[in-house]
Copies of this chain bind each other. A is one copy, B any other.
Amino acid sequence: MSTSTAPTSVRLAVIPGDGIGPEVVSEGLKVLNAAVGSEVSFETTEYDLGARRWHKNGETLPDSVLAEIRQHDVILLGAIGDPAVPSGVLERGLLLRLRFALDHYVNLRPARLYPGVTSPLAPHVLENGLDFVVVREGTEGPYVGNGGAVRTGTPHEIATEVSINTAFGIERVVRDAFTRAAARPRGHLTLVHKHNVLTHAGHLWRRTVEAVNAEFPEVTTDYLHVDAATIFMVQNPGRFDVIVTDNLFGDIITDIAGAIAGGIGLAASGNINPDRSAAPSMFEPVHGSAPDIAGQQKADPTATVLSVAMLLEHLGLDKAAQKVESAVAEDLVERGDRVRTTSEIGEAIASRL
């Protein structure tokens, strides 16, 4: 979904974040620089956001910083989350705030089993391959943060979570998913929801897919309840081409997708606002901050590097994106069981460019 004119200069906001974030981002930037060479000048601003900042002064994402970030063309994020910060503070205050404020309604998560990579699935279930993409809605559903608790801490506490789903919000992401499906050889779109239980939201999703399908008659569609979708993920992932789903179901199935495609260390993602002039999109590995191995050069930066490829593609720098993906593919074929540091992997990939 790139525009026709590629930029010659790009303002890039970098948020290394917490845990292994800084390590993997540093390799991602190394590869980015090697890939674009002197064709495009990247002007990079780094933002100190995450646990460190919150511990220092209680800030997650000050309005002024958000306003600055908004002036960029694109964002690269490492990982957010720290066990010493109360659960939800950084997630809601920083990561989801960015996704919501910048209207990243397309949370794009490809899953592909690269040659050389070992899947936890047995060979007989991989006969039809594994190459699909999940279009996860990124701005509404159960993630809106509505709800609350009363009588907190008492035996009579009640906590609610309100999922908000709009025709506007669903239609635009469904249309994006159809566009992607139409551009793929198989041209198949699967809606994943749970419309037999979450009937209000589910029926809206279903009606919307039916309606938008009329604009894309060449795309075939089907529907799976989320529970059934997870079964297919482990029994026949080759059945999937493009999946469209809500924010929470998308969160869950993209982690399974990453796992069956060889591990979350390889899973890239884009938080995309398809209107490049409206707001910068944000690219990040699907994995978390993994505090247990932070700073030890044990993290695999490949997911970040593949996120950089998605970032380049989003900017219209298709050739550079393609080069990065090929370099990763080559590295994956050769890596075998070798244990390498985070930097060694980043350098090995960069050296192929």
A residues near B (Cβ < 8 Å) are 81, 87-88, 91-92, 96, 118-125, 142-143, 145, 147-149, 151, 153-168, 171, 194-204, 206-207, 226-228, 230-231, 233-235, 248, 251-256, 258-260, 263-264, 288
Given A155-B168, A201-B159, A234 and B256 contact (CB-CB distance below 8 Å):
yes
List B contacts of A142 (CB < 8 A): 142, 161, 163, 197-198
The 4 closest A-B pairs by CB, nearest first: A227-B255, A88-B199, A157-B167, A159-B200
Cα distance, A37 to B87, chains bound together (Å): 54
Say which residue of B121, B149, B166, B230 sits within 8 Å of A200 (CB atoms).
Answer: B149
26 contacts between A and B (CB under 8 A): A81-B196, A87-B195, A88-B195, A88-B196, A88-B202, A91-B196, A92-B196, A120-B121, A120-B125, A122-B122, A142-B142, A142-B161, A147-B162, A151-B167, A154-B167, A156-B167, A156-B168, A159-B166, A161-B198, A194-B251, A226-B251, A231-B255, A231-B258, A231-B259, A233-B256, A234-B234
Centre residue among A154, A155, A157, A264 by max chain B CB count within 10 A: A157
Cα distance, A200 to B160, chains bound together (Å): 6
Given A121-B234, A259-B230, A161 and B252 contact (CB-CB distance below 8 Å):
no
Given A228-B255, A260-B234, A143 and B91 contact (CB-CB distance below 8 Å):
no
Given A92-B199, A196-B91, A200-B148, A164 and B157 contact (CB-CB distance below 8 Å):
no
CB distance B166 to A157 under 8 Å?
yes
CB distance A96 to B160 under 8 Å?
no
Say which residue of B163, B195, B207 sits within 8 Å of A160 (CB atoms).
Answer: B163
